[in-house]
Amino acid sequence: MNLPTTLKSRLFLVFGSLMVIVMFIASIIVFEKMKSLIVEKHLESAQRVTHMGTIPLVDGLLAAETGGTLPVDYYERSLRTLMKQSKQEILYAYFLDENGQSLLPQALNNINIINPENFEMGTSVSYQQNGWVLQTMYGVGVSTKVWGYLVLGFDALQIHREVKQVLFLIYVTSGIVILIVLFATNIIAETMTRRLNQLSVAVDRFNLIPDSEALPESDDEIGRLATNFNQFRQRLLQSRLNIEQSERNLFQAEKLASIGRLAAGVAHEINNPLTGIRHSINNILEDDLSTVDRNQYLNLIDDALKNIESVISKLLGFSRLKGDDHSDSSMNDAISTVVKLLDFSIQSKSVDFISELDLEIPPVHCNSNVLDELAMNLIMNAIDASDVGGKILCTTHFDNNNILFCIEDWGHGIRDQDIPKIFEPFFTTKDVGRGTGLGLYVTQEIVRGLGGEIHLSTIPHPGAKFTIKLPATIS
């Protein structure tokens, strides 16, 4: 048997079933009580009539024992008179001796309804051939002497009718009470489940986004549950805001750490133009130059300043957010920018850096600063993992509506026991002071936030290969 799946249906089923059972038991008890009262009322009347009928029989029997003479049909006439004068219809009359044998020629109604041998003392109501019959049996005697028993059968149809009426009233009353209780149960269940449904919907819709939907309020258990859930929701929302702020601070700290590691490269990128600027200024101040030479030195100074401005602008991009989260950004541009900023680190290790970028790949729908951060973390890790004279391969291509960015190095690789932990925050295999352990963690969080995936492969060579798959923006 499959039970209903909703709480309302279960409450209705349970309370309805209990009510039906209770009303059924109560109806039986009330019916039996009313039935006994009705039968008792008619029995008392029948017993009085039976007692009155024994009086002439006792008189006749006493007269016969004292030598008196009675008419031949005295007993028959006495009983017939009793049947005529009784307010209750008497169907039959028997006068039995102590052995159960009839003392009269025949039953006065001329119908042999019940075998006299089966008669027992007392009263009873039963259904016989001519309908419902109330039968009484009363002793005929004086003091301790008993001559026989008077048996009268009264018409009990009225009793049967009254019992049926009582049964009908009980059925109707019970049905009305059951319907009223079921209706009230349905209202109560609807009220309870409606509030629970509101709470259930709020729980289902809860996704750490502020929601103004009102929850059921009351002083009962459901109201307290709703209040506790609302407080729990507010705490979670506040915790989420705190976590987001911590993540932003963490990402910013990683950026600042990356900028610190770029200091040598940036200094190299700036020092070269500054040296040219100083040389040009010295030539302008010390030599008597022609207008053409002076303009040439000024143009060199302008170009050098533009180079410095470009390097500083790219460097500042890693220390603060820029662009629009709803704009389209190029993965290739991010890689080119990072490679230029890391050129000094690449050259200092004599790393053979190979870029194979697909120029036809579509843009990614995100802030350009995010792609800069991805490229910076992975390329810088590849440089750190490479030995002097090593090799790094950086590729991009488009496949099945996704942009694939791969950075592969032939360095010292990653130990098998460290692979499960490389994306954990603050885990690093680098020397103290050379890594924060946040680069790959931040990279993974950024990739997940863009709806992409990041995978690590350590075969077939000793190095490592990171592959990022990002959904492309296709117009």
Mean pLDDT of 416-422: 83
| Nearest alpha carbon to residue 123 among 52, 34, 28, 41 | 41
pLDDT above 90 covers a percentage of the chain that reads 7
Distance from C-alpha of 424 to C-alpha of 300, rounded to nearest angstrom? 48
Are 452 and 467 within 8 A, CB to CB? no
pLDDT in tens, 191-237: 777 777 777 777 676 665 555 555 656 666 667 777 777 777 778 77
Distances (CA, A) of 449 to 443, 444, 454, 473, 475: 10, 9, 12, 15, 21
What's the rounded Cα separation, in Å, for the pair 195 and 221?
11
Structure tokens belonging to residue 380: 């810088």
* Segment 102-111, tens digit of pLDDT: 766 554 544 3
**Which residues contact residue 58 at a Cβ distance below 8 angstroms, ignoring those fewer than 6 apart?**
140, 141, 142, 147
User: Topology of domain 324-475, per CATH?
Assistant: Heat Shock Protein 90 (3.30.565)
Note the pLDDT of residue 315. 61
Domains of the chain, residue spans: 7-167, 207-251, 263-317, 324-475
Q: For the domain bounded by 7-167, which CATH number is listed?
A: 3.30.450
- Predicted confidence at residue 112, as pLDDT, reads 40
Pick the CATH number of 263-317 from 1.10.357.10, 3.40.50.300, 1.10.287.130, 1.10.1270.20: 1.10.287.130
Query: pTM for this structure?
Result: 0.44
For residue range 243-260, what is the model confidence (pLDDT) as tens digits?
778 767 766 666 666 666
